[in-house]
Amino acid sequence: MSRIAIIIGSTRPGRNGKAVAHWVYEIANQRSDAEFEIVDIADYDLPLLDEPKGAASGEYTKPHTKAWSQKIDTFDGFIFVTPEYNHATSPALKNAIDFLYKEWNNKAAGFVGYGATGATTAVENLRMIMAELKVADVRAQVRLSLFTDFENFSELKPAAFQEKSVHDMLDQVINWSSALSVIREPK
């Protein structure tokens, strides 16, 4: 069975991202076609990228990089829960992505964006990054608006239709995570 990480893409104190990721996890856990785990970047205390060699080398020197690598390596697919900061994803998420390379390759990804307009620009930005990492990013995505899916821009109250949009996105991520297993090295 595919293992899918739900990655919290924000590390800011008071972040909305944590509630969004837990909401996605609750919906995902209704399913029996994959296993899901929340991965909080904040738990890994990643500094700004401090490895001397590029991630494609796989030659990691720092304990935080090795711990992050070991965790991400265990997954077959990813749900990136991303805010939008100045029309891009968060610097914390971009930095965490940049630390690794092979751990992302030949896996699938979907996106749950939240912001004034569902973080659509941040997700477009992430899709370009995924191509470089050989990640197959699915079409379906979840767009949560701070105006209509939150109260006071801080309390998550998603519109009813959003649950279906999560399942639509999960359907595609699980399909592609499984399909791509044939070209991944066995774990």
Ligand X SMILES: Cc1cc2nc3c(=O)[nH]c(=O)nc-3n(C[C@H](O)[C@H](O)[C@H](O)COP(=O)(O)O)c2cc1C
Distances (CA, A) of 118 to 39, 84, 140, 147, 158: 21, 8, 13, 10, 12
> What is the rounded CA–CA span in Å between residue 180 and residue 168?
19
Q: How far is the CB of 161 from ligand X (least distance, A)?
A: 20
Contact letters (x/-) for ligand X, 89-118, by CB under 6 A?
Answer: --------------------------xxx-
Residue with Cβ nearer ligand X (34 or 146): 146
Question: Taking CB under 6 A as the rule, does residue 158 contact ligand X?
Answer: no
Q: Is 79 exposed, middle or buried (0-12, 13-18, 19+ CB in 10 A)?
A: buried
Question: Taking CB under 6 A as the rule, does residue 15 contact ligand X?
Answer: yes
Which of positions 19-78 make contact with ligand X (CB under 6 A)?
Answer: none
- Taking CB under 6 A as the criterion, the residue among 17, 77, 110, 158 binding ligand X is 17
Residue with Cβ nearer ligand X (74 or 154): 154
Identify the three-state secondary structure at position 27. Answer: helix
- Of 10-18, 38-46, 71-79, 96-104, the window that binds ligand X (rule: CB under 6 A) is 10-18
Residue with Cβ nearer ligand X (120 or 175): 120
Question: CA angle at residue 93 from 164 to 58, to 5 degrees?
Answer: 115
Strands 150-151 and 155-156, how do they pair?
antiparallel
Residue with Cβ nearer ligand X (12 or 66): 12
